[in-house]
Structure 1
Amino acid sequence: MSVSLAELAGSCKQSGRVLPPLSESFRKSDKQPFGGYIAYKEFRNLFKDRYVETVTEPFDQEWNVIKDYSNNKKYSLYFLITKNLVLNYSEVNAFMDYVKAGNDLFISADYIDTRLLENINCNNERMAEIVDETKGLMRQTKVSMFFDNNFKAPAYGYYYYPFLNSLSSFDTAFVRVLGVNENNDPNYIILFSGKGRIYLHVAPRVFSNYFLLSGDNYQYIENVISFLRSDPKNIYWDEYYKNASPNRRKSNNGKDDNNFSSLSVIRQHPPLLWAFWLAIIGLLLFILFNVKRKQRIIDVIKPNVNTTVNFTETVGRLYLQKKNNNHIAEKMITYFYEHIRNKYFINTSTINDEFINSLAGKSGVPIETMKRLFALIRRIHSGENIDDATLIQLNNEIENFYKNQS
C-alpha cells in the first residue's frame, strides 16, 4: 500500500491536525520530524565522557585550525549529516588531508559531491530514490546492518519515501560494506585512506527524529556508530553543511569555484537533467516552427493631397466675410509682385514706365494691358475704399496677365 503527500496532508486536514514541517535540516536543535535533535542526544550519550565541538565554518578553514592538534598517536572524528553535501576543491582537499593524517570522517548525505567521490573512486547511485520521490509516493521501507557479510541482521523501518540510495564502483580491497538498503545494496561503507578512515552513509533520514522515534530504530544509530573507533582525541559535530547554500561556497583563493555552476547541479540530478533537455528541445521546436517570416499587413498609403487651393479659398472666404476689400486687394497685389520677382527677376520696389516696358518685354503681355493693370494698382494704393466691382476688376486684370504671359 502506498500514499502520496497530498493524500497524507488531506487526511491530516480532515482530522483537524496540521501536517508538521517535513524539511530535512538534521540540525541538532531541530525537533521537527526531520531535525537532528534525537540523533545529537544519542551521539552525545555514546560519547558521554568526551567533549563534542560544534563546527560552523567550512572544513577547509576548520582544518587549518585543527591540523596543528593532529598527530599520529591520537586521531579525531568529524561527524557530518546533511541532505546534500556540495563541496569545492579546497574543501575536498582539506577532507582528504584530514583523513590521510590518520583521522576519521563520517558523512551521511543523500547526495555527496562528485569531487569527493572521484577522490575515493566511488559512485553514488540515486536514480531509483529520486524517481520514487518525484512521484510523491511513500510506503514502508527499511535499512539494516551488514554483520558478518550476511543479510540476516535486524531491519529498521518506518513509513516514508523508500531507502534506495546506494554506493557502488568502489575497490573492495580498501572498502568494507557495513550496511544495506531495502534492496540489500550497500548504503554504508568504510574506506581506508592513508592512516585514517572515511565512513560513507547515503541514508541521512535514519538520523531524523521521525525515524529514531519509530519502534526500536534508536538501535540503528547505535549500530552505525559502533563501527567508529571508540577513543577519538577530539570529536567534531558539523552544523555548517546543514545550512550552507551552494552559492556561498568559495575556493581557497577567495574566488568562486569555476567548476560549480547551475548546469553542474542539474547534471548531478537526473530528473532535473531530463527536464532541462526537454525544455531545450521544446524551445528549439518552437523556434523551428516559428522561424518563417510572418508578413504583416501593409497599410495603404494615400497620396498627398494638394490643399493649397482649399486653403486659399478658405482664407478668401474669411476676408469676404469681413468685407475688407482693401486688405484683399493688397494681398492680391503682394502675391502678383512676388510672382514677377520670382519669374522675371524684376525689382518691384519702383513702379514706373521703365518697369512697365521691361515687364511687358519679358512677359509678352501687350503694353496697353500692362498700363491698364498698373493704373488700377496705383488707384488702389492711393487709399480709396475698394468696392466689390473694383476688386473683381483687379482680379480679372491679374488673371488676364497670367493667361497672356509667355
Structure 2
Amino acid sequence: MTKPKSINWFPSYATHHKIPFGSYVFNEQLERISNSVTSVNRPPFEFLKDNSINGTYVFFNGGIDFGKPELNQILEWVSNGNTLVVSAANFEKQLLDTLNLKTKSINTIDNFNNVFQVNLVNSRLDNSANYKYDKGSTFYHFDKIDTTQTAVLGFIDKFRGDGESIQDSLVNVIKQPFGGGEIVLNTFPQAFTNYFMLKSPNQNYTAGLLSYIDVEQPIYIDTYYKTGKTFYTSPMYLFLNTKSLKWAYYLVLIGALIYILFEGKRKQRAIPVVKPLRNQTVDFTRTIANMYYENSKHKDISQHKIQHFLEYIRNTLHLSTSEINDSFIINLAARSNNTKEDTKALFNFINNVNTKTQINSKELERLNTLIEQFKSHNQWKTKQ
C-alpha cells in the first residue's frame, strides 16, 4: 500500500489522459490560445458530412489509417480552403502517393540511448534551444519530398554536424498546399504528449508547431483515432482505481482463499495426476517467424536478428555496442575466436542491410549464416 504507483507508459495520445503519453497538457494549452476548440469523437467520414465545417482538423496518434473513401473526403474538404494537420509515426501509402512523398525509418544502430533532438526551420522561432526526446523507439523522416510543392518546417538535427546545412538533416515536418487549403504532416506525434511538453523548453517546440495553425479559425481535435480509450467499459476499473474499494476487494479474495484452504483439508478428494502442459514457446516463436518469412517481411526479420545479435555480444562477450569502430572489431574478434576479417565482413554486411528499406530472402539467409558462423566459433572456444 505504501510503495509508489508505477508509471503508466501506455502510448495513449488521448486528450483526457494525464499519463506521460497522454495529451491532457496540449489540449489544455490549446484551449487557452483558441476560443474555438472542438473535440471530435466521430470518424471524419461521418463528421465532415456537415458542409458548414471549416477551419483546421488535427490528428495525432502513433498510427493513423483513414482508408480510401475517408481519405478522399478529407482531401476534398481540405481543397475547399481548410487545413489538415496529421502527426503520426508513419502514414498510409495513399496519402503519401497523393502528395508525392516517401518516409523511411531512422537507423538507430549507433543511438542505443534512443535520444533524438528535433527543431524547427523558421528563423523567427527560437531555434537556439535543444528540444530532446529520450523515449524514442522507431523514428521516421521524409525520405522523398516534392521540392516544388513542399515547404520544410522541421527536422531531426541529432544527425546534423556543425558544418552541415539544414538540407543535410532528416526532415520530419512539412507543409504542402492542396487545392485551396494546405496539409501539414509531422512524423513526431510525441510532440503533443505530456511527457515531451512538460520537459522545459520542449513546450516551445510544440508552440512553434501550433504557430502554423490559424487559431482565429475553428480547430477540431480528433479523439476517434486514438490508442487510448475515451471511456472504460469494465466495472473492475472503478474497484482497482479506488484504493479503499481495491483493498476491500483484495480482502474478500484473501478471506475466500483462507476459507478454501482450511475447509478443503477435511473435504478434499484425491486429485488425479495431470501431466504439465508442454512448453510451446519455441513452437510459437517458430510459427511467428514462419509467418513473417512467408509474408516476405525480410526487413523486419533482419532487424530482429541484428538486435538479438548485438544483445548477445553485450551479454555473452561483455562488450559495449554503442560505438562500432575498428577498436570494437579487434576486441570482438579476439573474444569470440573469430578473425578480424570475418568480424569486419559481418558488420559491413549488417550495415548494408540497415541502409536498405527492403531485402530479399537470399540476403536474409546470408545474414543468418554469417551470424551463426560467428557464434559457432565462440561456442567452440568455450568448450575448449
TM-score after normalising by structure 2: 0.54
- Name the residue aligned to 1:31: 18
Q: 1:53 to 1:192 in 2, by over 3 A?
A: same
**Residue 81 of structure 1, aligned match among 51, 57, 60:** 60
Deviation at 1:211, TM superposition (A): 0.8
Q: Where do 5+ consecutive residues of structure 2 fail to align?
A: 160-168, 230-290, 305-358, 366-384
Q: 1:267 to 1:28 in 2, by over 3 A?
A: farther
Deviation at 1:240, TM superposition (A): 0.7
**Residue 147 of structure 2, aligned match among 166, 172, 176:** 172
- Name the residue aligned to 1:105: 84
Q: 1:79 to 1:150 in 2, by over 3 A?
A: closer
Compare relative contact order (CA 8 Å, sep 6+) and give the higher one, 1 or 2: 2
AA aligned to 1:88 is G
**Residue 119 of structure 2, aligned match among 138, 144, 163:** 144
SS at the partner of 1:25?
A: coil
- Name the residue aligned to 2:40: 55
Q: 1:268 to 1:200 in 2, by over 3 A?
A: farther
Q: Residues 285-324 of structure 1 correspond to what in structure 2 (within 5 A)? A: none
Conserved in 2, the CA contact under 8 Å of 1:142 and 1:162? no
Q: Residues 144-293 of structure 1 correspond to what in structure 2 (within 5 A)? A: 144-148=119-123, 153-161=128-136, 164-181=139-156, 182-183=158-159, 184-232=169-217, 234-243=218-227, 270-271=299-300
Q: 1:120 to 1:31 in 2, by over 3 A?
A: same
AA aligned to 2:212 is F
- Name the residue aligned to 1:69: 52
CA offsets 1:230-288 (integer angstroms, 9 cap, x no match):
421x321101111499xxxxxxxxxxxxxxxx99xx8899426877988xx99xxxxxx
Conserved in 1, the CA contact under 8 Å of 2:90 and 2:140? no
TM-score after normalising by structure 1: 0.52
AA aligned to 1:22 is W
Distance (Å, rounded) in 2 between the aligned partners of 1:44 and 1:268: 43
AA aligned to 2:94 is R
SS at the partner of 1:117?
A: helix
Distance (Å, rounded) in 2 between the aligned partners of 1:93 and 1:211: 32
- Name the residue aligned to 2:338: none
Q: 1:221 to 1:267 in 2, by over 3 A?
A: farther
Distance (Å, rounded) in 1 between the aligned partners of 2:73 and 2:296: 25
SS at the partner of 1:110?
A: coil
CA offsets 1:176-203 (integer angstroms, 9 cap, x no match):
1111113331111111110001010101
Residues 1:20 and 2:7 aligned together: yes
Conserved in 1, the CA contact under 8 Å of 2:23 and 2:194? yes
SS at the partner of 1:92?
A: helix
- Name the residue aligned to 2:102: 123
Which of the two has higher C-alpha Rg?
A: 1
Distance (Å, rounded) in 2 between the aligned partners of 1:31 and 1:216: 19
SS at the partner of 1:69?
A: coil
Q: How well do the aligned residues superpose, as a CA RMSD in angstroms?
A: 3.5
AA aligned to 2:52 is Y
SS at the partner of 1:168?
A: strand
Distance (Å, rounded) in 1 between the aligned partners of 2:25 and 2:225: 19
- Name the residue aligned to 1:376: none
Distance (Å, rounded) in 2 between the aligned partners of 1:270 and 1:56: 36
Q: 1:121 to 1:228 in 2, by over 3 A?
A: same
Conserved in 2, the CA contact under 8 Å of 1:141 and 1:163? no
Q: Where do 5+ consecutive residues of structure 1 fail to align?
A: 1-15, 246-261, 283-406
Give the fraction of aligned pairs with identical amino acids, expressed as a percent. 22
- Name the residue aligned to 2:313: none
Q: 1:180 to 1:149 in 2, by over 3 A?
A: farther
AA aligned to 1:271 is D
AA aligned to 2:208 is N
Conserved in 2, the CA contact under 8 Å of 1:142 and 1:163? no
Conserved in 2, the CA contact under 8 Å of 1:205 and 1:211? yes
AA aligned to 2:224 is Y
SS at the partner of 1:138?
A: coil
SS at the partner of 2:38?
A: strand
